[in-house]
Amino acid sequence: MPAPALANPPCNSWALRSVKPPPPLDVFLTRASEAFIQVLITDPDLAELRFSIQHSRKLKDQLLTVTEEQLVTGLAVNGLHSWGNLYTELAGTLKCTVEDNEVGLAKAFNLLSSPSREIRSEAWHGVKAAWEGRAETVAVILNAINGWRLEETKQRGRQRPLHYLDKSCHQSRIDRATLDALMETTYQNRAIGQRALTAMGKVLAITPMEPWDLFAPPPVANDAPVFTFEAAIDLVANAFRQLTPEMGDFAVMMAEKGWIDAQPTPNRSTGAYCTGFSEPREPRIFMTFEGSMNNVLTLAHELGHAWHNWVMRDLPRYETYYSMTLAETASIFAETLVRDALLAQASTPEQKRAIAWEDGSAAVTFLLNIPARFTFEQKLVEARQQGFVIADVLKGMMRDSWQHWYEDSLASYDEMFWASKLHFSISQLGFYNYPYLFGYLFSLGIYAQRERYGAAFNDLYTTLLRDTGTHTAEDLVQQHLQQDIRQPAFWQASLAIVDRSVRQLEALV
C-alpha cells in the first residue's frame, strides 16, 4: 500500500534548535589556536567555560570549511530532518482495530499494559499490522537518515577516519572503550534480564512470555497499600535521610512550597518530568499522583532529578550542563533508596513481590530491550554502508537482535520494532538507546560504593553530582571513586545489584 501524501510539516522548535548553525563564538573557539585557548581558559572570569571549550575542541579536526558547514546546516532542514518529521506525521495517521474499535497507535500502545492477555495480544498484533502496511516507507526513512549521517561522517573524517559511534560518544561525554565495556559486560550478564522475564512469566502463569506480555501489569495484591501524597512524601524523605538529612529535608520543602504539581485533574497529560527555572534556580515536578506504589517510586525518581539540580544551583550556568548519560544518576539513585525502604517495610509476600516486580521489569528493559535496540542500530548502520537496506532485511536484523539478547526467554520476537519505535527515526541524534542503559548501571554503580566509603559517602555523592557538568564520565568516576569505567569491574558491581534484586523476585514467585 502506498504511503499517504503528507504535507511537508514545519520543523518543531526542538528540531530548529538542533539544526541551527553554531554561534560564531563557538566556531571561533573551536578553530582558535591552542596558545590562544590556554590564555583564555586560565582567566578566572571565564573559568566556567573551561570544560565546555575543551570538550568542543575535541571536534576541531572534524570541522568543514565555513561554506561547507553552512551548506550542511541549510540542507539538513529540508533534507535530514524532514525524514524525521515524516515519520512523526506517519505515526500520527496510523490506526488499528482492538476489540472492534478503531484506535490510534498511542491508544493501542497503552492497551499493551492491559491485565487482559487477549487485549494485549490484539493490540500488539494490530500495531504490528499497521506498521507492516507502511514498512517500505519507514525503510526509506531509516535509509535516508542513516545515509545522511554516514556521508557527513565521511566528509568530517578527512583528517582522520571516524567511526559511526564517535559522534554519539562525544555527545555522551564517554570514550568508546567505556561504551564497549558497558555493552560487553551487559551481554555477559544477559541471563539476569532473562531470569527476570521468566520469573515475571511465572507470576502471570505465562511460560514462555511473548512480546505482547512485556508490559503486562503484575497481579494486584489484595493488601496493596494506597498512599496519600503526604504519606508518600514522608516515606521518600525518610529514605533520603538514610543518605543525608539535607536530601530528606529537601523533599519536604519541595512539597511544602508547592513545587510538586501532582494533583489528578481531568484531561491531565500522562507521564512525569522535572524542570526548573533559570532565575530563580528552583526545580519543579509535574506528575499525577494517585496513591500507588509505582507513583511513590515515580515521585522519588523526579525528586532525585530535582535534588541534582538543587545541589548545582549556586554553580555558574555553563557548569550545570550534563550529558544524557549522567542525567539519570541522581534519579535512579533516589528511586533505589526508596525501593529499599519500601521493601523493608513490606509486611506480606504479596507486597514484597509487587516491589520486586518493579526491579524485574527494569532489568528486562535495561538489560535486554535497550541493548537489542543498540545491536539493531549497529547492524543497520553497517548494512547501510554497503547500500540500501530493504524492509525484509530490516525485519531480519531486528529478529536477530532480539534473539541475540532475549534468546529463549521469549517465545517469539518483535520483527517490526524497527518501524514502531520512534527512537530509530529521530533525525537529531543516533543511538538514542545505550545512554539509558549507561544511566541505569552507572547510578547503581555509584550506589554500590556506599558501604565502601561509609559516612564519607554522603559528601562524596553530593560533590560528584555537582561535577557532572564539568567532567567526562570517566574523569568523574576516577576523581571521586578512583575507579575506571573503561574496565568491566565497575559495571559488574552494578549488575551484581540487579542480580540480587532479580533473586528476590525469584524467591517470591
362 and 341 in one domain?
no
How far is the C-alpha of 255 from the C-alpha of 246, rounded, in Å?
A: 15
- Find the range with the poorest average confidence among 24-28, 95-99, 358-362, 390-394: 24-28
- Find the range with the poorest average confidence among 11-15, 49-53, 68-72: 11-15
Domain membership flag for residue 118: no
Grouping H, G, I as helix, E, B as strand and the rest as coil, residue 448 is: coil
Burial of 269 from C-beta contacts in 10 A (0-12 / 13-18 / 19+): exposed
Note the pLDDT of residue 14: 36
Q: Is the dihedral of CA 179, 185, 191, 193 positive or negative?
A: negative
Domain membership flag for residue 435: yes
Phi-psi region of 399 (alpha: psi -120 to 50; beta: other; left: phi over 0): alpha
Domain membership flag for residue 123: no
**Tens digit of pLDDT for each residue in 406-427?**
999 999 999 999 999 999 999 9
How far is the C-alpha of 157 from the C-alpha of 88, rounded, in Å?
A: 31
Q: Which of 345, 374, 408 is the last residue of a domain?
A: 345
Note the pLDDT of residue 167: 95
478 and 392 in one domain?
yes
**CB-facing half-sphere around the CA of 319: CA atoms within 13 A:** 15
How far is the C-alpha of 494 from the C-alpha of 441, rounded, in Å?
A: 5
How far is the C-alpha of 449 from the C-alpha of 459, rounded, in Å?
A: 13
Note the pLDDT of residue 25: 75
Note the pLDDT of residue 247: 97
Amino acid letter for position 418: W
327 and 273 in one domain?
yes
Domain membership flag for residue 301: yes
Position with higher pLDDT, 108 vs 397: 397
The count of domains in the chain is 3
> Per-residue pLDDT for 66 more than 90?
no
Question: Cis before residue 208, ω within 30 degrees of 0?
Answer: yes
Note the pLDDT of residue 451: 87
What is the chain's mean pLDDT, rounded?
Answer: 91
- Find the range with the poorest average confidence among 102-106, 410-414, 464-468: 102-106
pTM over 0.85: yes
Which structural domain range is residue 272 located in? 229-345
Q: Contact, 334 vs 301, CB < 8 A? A: yes
Q: Residue with C-alpha cell 505465562?
A: 206
**Tens digit of pLDDT for each residue in 316-375?**
999 999 998 999 999 999 999 999 999 888 888 888 998 899 999 999 999 999 999 999
Note the pLDDT of residue 219: 87
How far is the C-alpha of 178 from the C-alpha of 46, rounded, in Å?
A: 30
502 and 365 in one domain?
yes
**Residue 371 cell numbers, joined:** 541493548
Q: For residue 102, what are the β-bridge partners?
A: 97
- Please state the rounded mean pLDDT for residues 256-282: 86
- Please state the rounded mean pLDDT for residues 435-458: 93
> 411 phi and psi, to 5 degrees?
-75, -30
